[in-house]
Amino acid sequence: MKLDLSRRPMQDPAAGRAPVKVLYVGGLGRSGSTLLDRMLGQIPGFFSVGEIVYIWLRGLSQNRLCGCGTPFRECPFWLGVAEEAFGGWDRVDASRMMSLADSVERHRYLPLQFYPQLWPGYRARLEEHAAVLAELYRAIHVVGGTKVIVDSSKAPSYAFVLRRTPGIDLRAVHLIRDSRGTAFSWTKRVVRPDAVDQTVYMQRYHPVRIASRYLTRNLMMELLAGLGVPTVRMRYEDLVRTPRPHVERAVDLAGEELEPGALDFIGDGEVELGVNHTVHGNPLRMKLGRVPVRLDEEWRSSLKREYYGIVTTLTWPLLRRYGYRP
C-alpha cells in the first residue's frame, strides 16, 4: 500500500538551511520558454528542470520521457530526487498529488492565495502542497548540485504558489511574445516526441482564447513583480536575435556570476545543447548538439486575416506596452 506522502508530518524545509534559488520563466506558452530554459541549463551551477508543474501528471503518472531520453520513472536523476525528497516514488500517491495541485494552483484561486484565512480548507491544502514542493525543490538542489534551479512552468498561478513555499528564493523572467505570433503557434499541429509507443500532439487553442490568456497571464506576471518578486521582462524576439545579453540578464537576476567561457555554447545563429533532465516542454527539450536559433515569424503570412484583427484588437493595450506595433 502506498504511503500518502502529502499527509505525512513534514518539518519546515527552510529550518536551518539556505533557501533554494528558483529562476522561474513565466508568461504564456509558445513564447520561447523552452529555449531560454535550455540555454540557462548549460551554464555551470544552473539546472534546467523544464515545466516542473507537470511532474505529477506527465512524469510520475504518464511516465513520459525525461529530457535525457529515459522514461521519467527510470531516470537515475529523478530516482535520486525521489529518494532524497520522499524515500522513493513508490511512497508518492500521484493521483493525490495531482488532485491537490489542481485544488490549489488554478488561476481562479489566486485571490485566496492573498487571503487564505477566508477559506480554511484552501489554506490547509495550500500549506500541504507548498510543503511537498519545498521538499521536491530541495532534493533537486541537492541531487543536482545546483546553485539555481531553472523552472519554465510558465503558469503565473504556480509562481504564486512558489512565492509562498518555504525555503525557496524565487526570481522570475517574464517572457513575452507578440500576441499574434503566440496565437498562431497555438494553432499548429505538433507531435510530442516524449510519449512512448503512442502519438501525442501538443495542445491547440483557438486564437481568441489565446488572446484572452495573453492578457490575463501577462498581467498576472506583472502583479507577481509588483508584489516584490525580483523580475526581468524579456521579449522572445529579442532573445532569439541576441541570446547572449538576454541570458546574461537572467544570470544577473539570479545573483550569480558567469565563469569565463560559460556562454561559449552560444554561437552565431545556433546553440550547443547538452543532456538535460527536463520534465515537460516543447520538442526542443529533446534535442541535443547544435540547434539553430531562428526567429519564427510565420504568423505574419499564415495567420488568418480575421484572427489577426481579433487578436490585435483584444491585446492591443499590452502590445503597445511591450513595444510591439498593433
State residue 228's pLDDT score. Answer: 97
Q: Is 221 helix (H, G, I), strand (E, B) or coil?
A: helix
Write down the residue that cell numbers 527552510 correspond to: 14
Which carries the bigger pLDDT value, residue 270 or residue 117? 270
Question: Does domain 5-321 match CATH 3.40.50.300?
Answer: yes
Average pLDDT of the residues of the chain: 93
Q: Over range 30-53, report the average pLDDT.
A: 97
Q: Over range 265-294, report the average pLDDT.
A: 96
pLDDT at 8 over 70: no
pLDDT in tens, 91-143: 999 999 999 999 999 888 988 988 888 899 999 999 999 999 999 999 999 99
Domain range annotation of the chain = 5-321
Q: Which of 6-20, 97-111, 227-241, 307-321 has the lowest mean pLDDT?
A: 6-20
User: H helices within the chain, ranges in order?
Assistant: 33-41, 76-86, 94-102, 110-114, 120-144, 156-163, 179-185, 207-226, 236-241, 243-253, 299-302, 305-321
C-alpha cell read off for 179: 500576441
Q: Which of 113-127, 226-240, 307-321 has the lowest mean pLDDT?
A: 113-127
